[in-house]
Chains A and B, each alone.
Chain A
Amino acid sequence: MSLLDFARGPAIEVALAVFTLGVMWRLISLLGLPWAKDRTVRRAGAPSDFSAGVSGFIRHLWVPKGFGMTSRFALINGYVFHLGLAIIFFGFVQHILFLRGLFGVSWPGLPTSVISIAAVVTLGSLVAALVRRMTSPVMRLISTANDYFTWLITTLPVLTGLLAVSHLGARYETLLAIHILTVAALLIWFPFGKLMHAFLVFLTRAETGVFYGRRGVKI
């Protein structure tokens, strides 16, 4: 079995299984915890929990107007690499083919040149995030091994993917195999590290939205 066959076959299959079971385990063990019932009387005219939850999610997409805060850079940079990752993952033709194999649905891809630019921008943005993490005293203090490892595991697929597409450094098949293996690593790490925030963000923002919503707080 060639490295590519291994990557495409057992490696990614095992990774997908770990990812799926792991995420389910995390979510079930979280949602299965006791839920505190709020017995306070909601403010008259307060939105329903559902709409408060949705607006909580939307609200935290950005800092409230008039808040007066300085670190816009991190906020914008965060959007740059999140969007960049999404464009690469969902827009690249090869990825769409892979996803079609899994889910049976597909959509038109973006030109490879666009994907390459997105990958370069994403890499730059990830590097900027790392530099900030390693230089800002606040960030250094609150950063853990999980944060650095997650950074590495997120950056590697972008880097190896870019190398594979540009045929740089080794044979295409080898580069592709390495790329797929880094994706497998990401999938395996996903449920155990902070990548879980991709799921948790819906819960926490909505819960805070409900908390404030029933009190009639308008932010």
Chain B
Amino acid sequence: MTIDVQAATRTFLAQTEEHLVSYLEACVHCGQCADACLFYRTSGDPRHTPAYKLFPIAKAYKGQKWPLKWLGLAPKITETDLKEWEELIFDTCTMCGRCTEVCPMGIDIASIVGQARKAWAAAGLGPADLFAAADNSRDHGSPLGLTAEKLSDRLEWLADDQEVEMQVDKKSAEVLLTVSSIEAMKYPQSLSAMAKIMNHAGVDWTYSTHGYESTNFGYLAGKSDIAKIMLNRIVDAAEALGAKTVVIPECGHAYGVMRWGAANILGRELPFEVLHITEYIAKLKREGKLKLKPYDTPMTYHDPCQVSRRGGAAADARYILEGFATDFHEMTPTAELNWCCGGGGGVQAIGRAADLRHKVFKIKIDQVEATGTHTLVSACANCRLTMDESKLHWKWDGGLESLVEIVAENLIDSTAKPN
């Protein structure tokens, strides 16, 4: 594969917006961010220092500043730079945002890594499997081959198997429920769990075969055109329905991109509200529409980075657990300060990153064990898959659960019909 250095440089420079440039110029190279990063913490490799990951983009930007340019001293991005940093930009950054918390300059490294990935994608350099996930999303509707037909089949089977009334392509439903193909393919009961909760609360909801895949591998792979296509599918489906609310399932990045990115990526405000499923369940609970049996298993909760630290919804998960999970113990650190599972930012889809990812997961195992519980509940299917794989790797016998599923399993009278 030829590496288009020019295209990478052009992409870098096309993004010189005030925030990005101030961040790049402000780094004092103090190294505080290293310890905050799960990858540096695990590997001890100085190259995994968050600030170091930004070097090529900083270099590209510096190269166009006029005094240097005049003097002919402008540094240039090289093919070697791109090759050397590929692993740092893709495999060893989950865009979890933890480093920003300790940075004395408040530099948002995660968002810059997101921007930088676009330059690698433009150069044609990046993990083949992550890029394929993005291309599959564009061509087949989902990174894991969940076409519209497959989704319909799955939902039909789940309706039968789980005895739940499904709503598919229901005209003018108020709430459009989306899916993550990770759930659909690996944890299908998540889909019926969401349906059960919606039915229980009497919500006017539907799944849509026109816009269903909420994960956005276009964004994660730095392929902006695919990111837009994926967003537009859901936005168009929601607009066609006239939906008031789009609910993002248990997927952190899907929530981050749709809730905090879509309007900016598409360049227009969205005509509906976007809620993560935990926010939506919390809303139903607040409105008194949820009747739950207590869940007694001793457990702890893993905050998906994009929902809590970068999404601002940490409190909603706690609100759901309040009075429901009777033996809930917080991890340390937790909520907005939580350690990432190691698989965010598309790292889960990068095969060659698996070894380090498993090592990173040790942090999580230790955190769970320190709580004295043995069950880890999360609200992200991507976290769950990462944890499942690493759990197997370490032969860890802790339990992994989904918050939505435990809520659905403990509904009182879960057979209520939708209105």
Residues of chain A having any CB pair with chain B under 8 Å: 30-31, 33-41, 43, 46, 56-57, 59-60, 63-64, 66-71, 74-75, 78, 136-144, 147, 194, 196-197, 200-201, 203-209, 211-212, 215-219
Contact = CB atoms under 8 A, between A and B. Distances in A.
A71 B105 contact: no
Contacts of B25: 30, 196, 200
Scoring A31, A35, A37, A68 by chain B CB atoms within 10 A of each residue's CB, the highest score goes to A68
Nearest to A139: B31
Contact of B22 (A40, A66, A204): A204
B35 A71 contact: yes
Interface stretch (B77-85, B171-179, B288-296, B306-314): B306-314
25 contacts: A30-B22, A33-B21, A34-B17, A34-B18, A39-B263, A39-B267, A39-B269, A46-B312, A59-B106, A66-B333, A69-B35, A70-B35, A75-B104, A137-B46, A139-B29, A142-B52, A144-B29, A147-B29, A194-B29, A196-B26, A201-B104, A203-B26, A209-B106, A212-B312, A219-B309
Contact of A74 (B30, B49, B315): B30
B104 to A, nearest CB: 6
Interface centre among A35, A68, A71, A204 (most CB of B within 10 A): A204
User: Which of B25, B26, B34 has the most A CB atoms < 10 Å from its CB?
Assistant: B26
A118 to B, nearest CB: 21
Interface in B318-354: 332-334, 336-337
Nearest to B339: A68
B17 A35 contact: yes
A63 B46 contact: no
A202 to B, nearest CB: 10
Contacts of A209: 106
A211 B108 contact: yes
Interface string B79-108: 000000000000000000000111111111
Contacts of B395: none
Contact of B102 (A34, A38, A69): A69
Contact of A219 (B259, B313, B337): B337
B26 A197 contact: yes
Nearest to A199: B26
Contacts of B262: 40
Top 10 nearest A-B pairs by Cβ distance? A216-B312, A39-B263, A205-B106, A208-B106, A215-B312, A200-B26, A141-B46, A217-B312, A33-B18, A60-B106
A49 to B, nearest CB: 13
Interface of B: 16-19, 21-23, 25-26, 28-32, 34-36, 40, 46-47, 49, 51-52, 100-108, 111, 259-264, 267-270, 273, 308-315, 332-334, 336-337
Nearest to A27: B22
B49 A40 contact: no
A31 B21 CA distance: 10
Contacts of B35: 69-71
Nearest to B103: A60
A78 B29 CA distance: 12
B37 to A, nearest CB: 10
Contacts of A70: 35
B18 A138 contact: no
Nearest to A215: B312
A101 B376 CA distance: 65
Contact of A67 (B18, B40, B101): B101
Contacts of A74: 30-32
B29 A208 contact: no
A68 B339 CA distance: 10
B273 A78 contact: no
Contacts of A60: 103-106
Contacts of B259: 40
B26 A201 contact: yes
B18 A71 contact: no
B34 A138 contact: yes
B261 A40 contact: yes
B106 A207 contact: yes
Given A36-B18, A141-B52, A204-B107, A41 B26 contact: no
Contacts of B22: 30, 200, 203-204, 207
B104 A40 contact: no
Given A40-B264, A143-B29, A217-B336, A30 B21 contact: yes
B334 to A, nearest CB: 8
Given A70-B35, A217-B311, A200 B105 contact: yes
Contact of A66 (B18, B32, B273, B337): B337
Contacts of A41: 263, 269-270, 273
A109 to B, nearest CB: 29
A217 B105 contact: no
Contacts of A78: 30, 104
A67 B36 contact: yes
B64 to A, nearest CB: 12
A217 B106 CA distance: 14
B104 A208 contact: no
B5 to A, nearest CB: 22
Contacts of A139: 29, 31
Nearest to A36: B17
Contact of A215 (B29, B106, B260, B267): B260
A141 B106 contact: no
A148 B51 CA distance: 17
A48 B305 CA distance: 23
